[in-house]
A and B are shown apart, each in its own frame.
Chain A
Amino acid sequence: MAEYVHASGGPLFHIGRYVLMIKRSFAKPERAAMYWKETLVQMNNIGVGSLVIILLISFFIGAVSAVQFAYNLSQSMVPMYYVGFVVKESMILELAPTVSCLILGGKIGSNLASELGTMRLTEQIDALEIMGVNTISYLIGPKLAASVTMIPLLVVISAITGIWGGLLAGSMSGYVSGADYLQGVLMSFKAYNIFVMMVKSVVFGFVLTSVSCYQGFYAHGSAIEIGKASTRAVVLSCVMVLFADLILTWLLLR
């Protein structure tokens, strides 16, 4: 495995090495307690560390969607409580999972890639390897575990914040009263859409974390490479999240 660190090749090489990495990140831990401790650290970094930015962005997205949609409705015959309905639907189905994960792709992606890249270039990963630690499962497993639990939670928070932001902006701008908005939010509530949101957020979380870890873990060269690896991590996570979004939407909403 060590051998493949310094290698490079075409897309097929990277896909193969990526798949192997994923497979090995599920290897049995040497010491469950150490892995658990590391997972908690990562849950804190990924979850708590991203809370503020998710709150901020979701609030504004919800608010802007509400005002924009209300503006469009105001020139039509459609009742105003539809604003609540539309903001809820778009937050749950698309905006909360996708936009949050694009933001997280930037934040978590660059963090993970530069953390692992630094560990690689300062030989910390080699030091673990020499001790007989399964480096992939110890370094990447807990990050994946933390992501697929914390990111769905963040996405739920994002959806709630966005809907609430819409309520606030809608009523403050005078387009739609709080009561009407809430009536729209509660209208034709589909549990399936929540399911779609959760599936998306688990998949996106997994994709952006594994892609970023891959970039950092296999970084090689000089210190400049860490910067390049984290840029690649961000760009690639975002593209892969969008790609996964398209596929999942096709598969789940037919």
Chain B
Amino acid sequence: MIEVKDVRKVFGTQEVLKGISAVFETGKNNLIIGKSGSGKTVLLKCIVGLLTPTDGHVLFDEKDYVAMNIDQKNEIRRELGMLFQGGALFDSLTVEQNVRFPLDMFTHMPLSEKRDRVNEVLKRVNLVNANHKFPSQISGGMQKRTGIARAIVMNPKYLFCDEPNSGLDPQTSIVVDELIMEITQEYNITTITNTHDMNSVIANGDKIIFLHEGNKHWEGDKYSLFESDNKELIDFIFASDFLKEARDARFNKLKNKV
């Protein structure tokens, strides 16, 4: 379980996060949604420690991460996997070397064992026969899957995904979403995913946190999402006029039936 308490983040004069408190549950894919610029990435980076919150606390299973020194943080970080928005694969290393990197750096496994583990996770993300390709030689979807493989190769307790399906076609996007979901449940991981992709919100929203201008504006799940009368949330979900009209049409139809 990860808990954020009153997290604030100020850049210069701009207050990007205005005191956010939330609980992210274990074994669930916790979604952070909100429109572009609402502070999703900043919140995620504050949680993983790439940014230090101006105020507030981040607790990993009750332990205060913000207050830790660098060595203690590194301990936690070894139990943590992250999928970056752009993949962030090491471009001088092959797919296999990328996924093996954390094992090379932090374990004493013999090479053959590491290879087996790498092939196991690559198979898990449906990426076979790409072991010796470089990131520049594979597609965006394959890069995302390599990123997931690298994030889970150490069996993390916490998994963070920043926009896992940005830049992917709808089908690949669903594959990646399902993969994250399955891994989360299978290994009982605390997963936090940033997204503004409504398909994935509707498919995976066990627990949803809606950010608006640096505030937590709403919290719930995919069922309560559509019943909410929160104006900003409705504007976010039904972004286009077409969708709003479709919703109103359906609403009127329902009303007429009554």
Contacts and interface: CB of A to CB of B under 8 A. Distances in A.
Interface string A103-135: 000000000000000100011101101111110
Contacts of B80: 130, 132
Contacts of B106: 30-31, 131-132
B140 to A, nearest CB: 13
B50 interface: yes
A133 B75 CA distance: 10
B131 interface: no
Interface stretch (B84-92, B177-185, B196-204, B206-214): B84-92
Interface string B155-175: 000000000000000000000
A118 B74 CA distance: 24
Contacts of A118: 91
B138 to A, nearest CB: 15
Contacts of B91: 118, 122, 124
Main secondary structure of the interface of B (DSSP, over half): mixed
Contact of B86 (A1, A30, A122): A122
A95 to B, nearest CB: 35
A2 interface: yes
Interface residues of A, number: 19
Contacts of A126: 50, 84, 88
A187 interface: no
B86 A130 contact: no
B254 interface: no
A126 B81 CA distance: 12
Interface of A: 1-3, 6, 30-31, 34, 118, 122-124, 126-127, 129-134
Interface of B: 11, 48-52, 70, 73-78, 80-82, 84-86, 88-91, 101-102, 104-106, 150
28 contacts: A1-B70, A2-B50, A2-B52, A3-B52, A30-B106, A34-B104, A123-B86, A123-B88, A124-B89, A124-B90, A127-B88, A127-B89, A127-B150, A129-B77, A130-B48, A130-B50, A130-B77, A130-B80, A130-B81, A131-B78, A131-B102, A131-B105, A131-B106, A132-B73, A132-B75, A132-B76, A132-B106, A133-B105
